Structure formats: C-alpha cells, structure tokens
Amino acid sequence: MSGAIVKRTPFFKILIANRGEIALRIMRTARRLGYGVVAVYSDADRDALHVREADQAVRIGEALPAQSYLKIDAIIEAAKASGAGAVHPGYGFLAENEDFARACRDAGLVFIGPSPEAILAMGNKAGAKEIMQKTGVPCVPGYQGADQSGAVMLAEAKAIGFPVMIKAVAGGGGRGMRLVADAAAFPDALRSARSEAQGAFGDPTVILERAIVDPRHIEIQVFGDRYGNAVHLGERDCSVQRRHQKLIEEAPSPAVTPELRARMGAVAVQAVKAIGYEGAGTLEFLLDRAGNFYFMEMNTRLQVEHPVTEAITGLDLVELQLRVARGEPLGLRQEDITFSGHAIEVRLCSEDAGHDFMPQSGTMARWQMPEGIRVEHALQSGSEIPPFYDSMIAKVISHGATRDEARGRLICALEQVTAFGVATNQGFLIDCLRHPVFAKGEATTAFIGNNRDALLAPQPDRGSDLALAALLLYVTHPHAPPWQRGRSLSATFPLGLRIDLGHGVHEIEIVRERDGCYRATCNGDRFSFEIDELDQDSIRFHHDGLMEQAKFLRDGDRLHILHRGVTLRVRDLTLAPPESAAAAGGDGKVRAAMNGRVVAVLVKAGDKVAAGQPVMTLEAMKMEHVHTAGVAGTVSSIDVAEGEQVTTGKIVVAIEAAA
C-alpha cells in the first residue's frame, strides 16, 4: 500500500452488540488495547456475566432475540446513549445484516466489520455464489432464484436431483438448513427451514444446493483492509457437525496439503480483493475425496472457531479487526503468515446428546473449567442458561506441537470440566475425540451420522458407578451418621436404595461396617469403599486397591458426580412412587420436551392422528424440534397457540386414544 493515504477513523469506546462468551472475548482484547466497552442485554440476560464485566450496559428489550438482540434501532440508541463510537457485532444475531451495518454508518458509528455493500454481496449465499461463478471458482450446483414459491422450489429441487440441501441465504450456524432425501419430504422441510431462518435472522429466503456426499468442510480465514491489501490465514477443518452445526474444528486440516492450501487461499484472497472487502471473513468450501473443492458461502464476520487460527498463527484476530476498523493498514503480507503446531476446538453445548441433542436450559449449579488450557465462556456457578439463545455455552481450545498432542490435551481438559445442573455434550465430545476415525484425521461431515450408534450408545450402568452413587447418597443424606475416618464402634443397619442413572432403576443395599469401610451390594455384586476425605463437594476414597477422587453436588434427591472424566446424573427414587406411562406420552398427553416457543401447531381439535405423527413444532435455542403423538387417536384439545412460550413438561396437545 505504498503511497496510499491512510484514512483513520478514531473511536475510544466500543459497544458489543452480542452476548455471552463472544462478548467477553471481544472485551478482553478491546481493554488490552485501551478501549472502553459497553454491553447490551435482554431481560433474560440482566444478570449475565458479560453485563457485569462491561464498563456500561444498556437494556435493549425482552428475552426473545427478535425483541432485543435483533432490534437495530434499540442497539443504535444504546450506542448513542453510552457514547460509544464503534459497534462490534460478534457473530450470530446481526453480525451479517447489511441493514445493521448501514444503520451504524448512517448514525456515525464505526461498524467493526465489512461494509454494508460487501455484506450484501458476499453475506447472502445466493449473491456470493453468483460472484464466485463469474470469477471461475467452482460452486455446488443449485438454485438461488428470486421465485421462492413452494411449487417452483420443489420443481428446482427435482431438477437438481435429490438429495438436496435447503439453506437460508442469511446467517449461518446451521440455522435454516435442511438435508432433504426425496420430494415427499421437501414441503415440510422447506417450511421448517424458512420458519427457523425467519426466527434466527429475520429473513426466510432460502437457496437450494445439490448435496455433496461425505465431503470435508474446509474454510479459509481471510482479512482485508481499505487500501486493497488482503491475506489468508490458512484453513480450518470443521467437518464434525450435528444438525449442520459445527462441534469440533481444527487447524490445519489433516486433509489439506500445502499445495491445496495455497490454491484455496489464493482463490479466497482473489474473491475479497475483487469486492474491496474490509475486515475478517471466511470462505467456506466442500472438499471431496478426489481433492476437488466447491465454494459454498462466505461468512462476513468473525467465526466461532477463530481461536484455532489464533493458536497456530500467534495473531489476535479481534485486534486485527479493531485496527482495520480504525483505518490502519493490515500490516501483514502473505509471506508474513506462518503456522505453528496444531489446534483443536470443541463446542461445549447445553444439550442432551442421547436424546437427539435436545437443547437444555436451567441453572448451572456448579461450573468449573480446567486450568492450563484456553476456555471461552461466560458462566459461573449459579448462572442461568436461558432457552432463547444458542446452546453453545463454552469453547475449549487446545494447542500442541502435533495433532495427537493437541487431541490428548483436549481430552484431558474435557475430563476436568465440572458442569452440574444442566446436561451438556461433554461426554459426547470426548467420545468423538477418542474415536479411531477422528484420531486418524479421517472425519468427514458424515462422521457423526456414520458412527452415531457407537458415539451415542448409552453407557451401561456399571456396578461401580451405581455403588459410588449409593455411597454418596448415603453419606450426604442430611440425617446420615457423620462420617469420620477409621473404625466404627458398631456397624450400621443395611439401607436399601433405588437409584436411576438414566438407564433404568436399580436396587442397591449399602452398609457401614465396623472396620470403617462402606459396602454396597448391587445385582449380587459387592463393592467396598474406604473414604479418606469427604468435603462438601469432593470425595477421596480407596476402591479395588486404588485411591480415586470424585466431585459431586447433591440437590435434594438428585446427585451430580464427576468421576473418571464422566459426569453422572443420579436420581434417588427410594421414596418416589413408581412412574407411569405418562412420562412417555402413553397417556395421550404430548408434553413440551424443553423450555421453548411454539412456532407451529400442526393439528387441530378433532383431527385423527397416528402414533408418531408430528403435532407441534417447538423452537428452543434457535433450533426447531418436532413433537409427535405418543398414541393413535383423536386430538381432543390443543393447549397452546403459535408464538406462546412454554416450559418443560407443559401439556401442549391432548389425544384421546383410539379404542
């Protein structure tokens, strides 16, 4: 950029138009560079950590994103009221909304991201494909026309050939995306994708693409400045996904050679230079087994997985964003970019992997993250996880000299994560990292689908786990004899317990002997424990000649245990009445499976339904979940309306079983 006139745009305070871990991540770099920071919050986030950590915070609306984090006018007013001179959108919400970028510019605020024109050109999947096709970049065959009628979309899908992908033109993160196997399933999938896209991004427009079978998902990180300079920072492999949402990302990709990296990087840089792109961006490609790559879309924002690029390049991507937004030249040439080692990131989500990754909300009673490794999060013990936003609650990032070292460090770190109170995918992530296919670097986008049974197989209720649960229920009971080290004057009477570890009810008998040991009997097997230390939240004990330790939290008749890297959720059913068929919907009542918002009621009173037939769609944490009839019969009542917010367990549809 020699000879170019530097056009600086000074600002001193930044409003972060986002929430959670990304808001805290941006604050960290902004403060290091000397900027003041302003948070915004919805009613659901009033007590959130990002609000308390900011210099100032401004309420922008009610809990639902459409009433708060997607309200452009409210955010602009918040920036003006706080005296902020710049706005960082983070990712998600309005990060790729050209109207928001334009509104910031019109209000005299610096938008820390690309121009509205660049967002419109490349942030829209349909527009981006047209630009790339004109420059000769291979794209996935598809339809991105203006006619969005159901009949035209179905005809185009048939012309492309099934299976096809439906994709929202706006936003990302897997929202508004559906893989459709045949024409019969297309209308429902189209409606669902549009509804989800409207709720997440405020735009129901979709495109169609031919589904490439078992590809790698490879993305190239790019940066440009206002002086025509642009570089790429290598690739990330984001192939491990569920519901088209990334779960594990790594850099570099095990499948990308230096030659392929150079080719893909050159294409990406050429694209951003062609449109005068400014700031951080990511071009996403599908890489097939033959080494052919196809452009999918461009994300005109910072990515969730940016830490793995930071780890191998030594660069702070948020700092680069802020410097470029101030009008400084990028200050990097392509030859300046070097890569060191290997980095892997996992997304820790509040979801139940064993029940189709159902989002979970509630109170995180105990939250402790591992030390010695990078963790991005915005929680603490007692934090509320609301049902209105994305289910990702933390990112854990490892860096090592080799891929195996990074993978091993990440597994060890995940085994130390203490997350009690709300179910997470902690164990599922560990199983993915340990799986031979991932360990060999061979995972494609089909990895979870192809290995679903192995990855999601219920863990057997091992006798030792049941015995440990019984021990902890026994010694932490409010009326239990106080524990003390060593021998006892007398043995206690055997106590019978009924315990559920999530896969059935077990009868266990436990007793403390005169020698001070506790003995548990389960299914004819006997287990002996000698307690060395017992605190309010941890226990150290001898079992089978080994000294072990576990963390735990007792909450009434529920017990949370972290033992050998596995989180166990235990229910004490000793005094509970037997459960009925109602829990499975066998009583004809369809109950909300999570806190969420009703987006579609698919039946009406008097309709005949079959067992398993969809009756209602609930949206939680930006994803839609179809609820089905538990029995065949006639719909007798519908107890909710579209748009209504419901709580877990609420009866939404009642069905009178067929005779």
SS3 assignment for 623-647 = EEEEEECCCCEEEEEECCCCCCEEC
Spatial neighbors of 430 by CB under 8 A, at least 6 apart, are 411, 414, 415, 565
Catalytic position from the list 236, 242, 261, 301: 301
In a 3-state reduction of DSSP, which class is residue 35? Answer: coil
Tell me the pairing of strands 86-88 and 13-16.
parallel
The burial class, CB within 10 Å (0-12 / 13-18 / 19+), for 641 is exposed
Q: For residue 242, give the nearest of 394, 451, 457 by alpha carbon.
A: 451
Alpha-carbon distance of 30 to 32, in angstroms, equals 5
Token reading at 106:
């019109």
Alpha-carbon distance of 633 to 299, in angstroms, equals 47
Q: For residue 16, give the nearest of 271, 407, 378, 343 by alpha carbon.
A: 378
301 classed as catalytic: yes
The burial class, CB within 10 Å (0-12 / 13-18 / 19+), for 314 is exposed
Q: For residue 325, give the nearest of 87, 54, 652 by alpha carbon.
A: 87
Give one word for 45, left, alpha or beta, with left for phi > 0 and alpha for psi -120 to 50: alpha
Cβ(510)–Cβ(474) under 8 Å?
Answer: yes
Token reading at 238:
């984001």
What's the CA dihedral at 13, 15, 21, 26 to 10 degrees?
Answer: -40
Q: Return the beta strands (E) in 67-224 as ranges.
A: 86-88, 110-111, 142-143, 164-168, 177-180, 206-210, 216-224
Cβ(358)–Cβ(594) under 8 Å?
Answer: yes
Spatial neighbors of 216 by CB under 8 A, at least 6 apart, are 237, 239, 253, 255, 286, 287, 288, 444, 445
Helix residue ranges per DSSP H, 119-223: 125-134, 150-160, 186-201
Token reading at 88:
């960082």
Catalytic site positions: 301
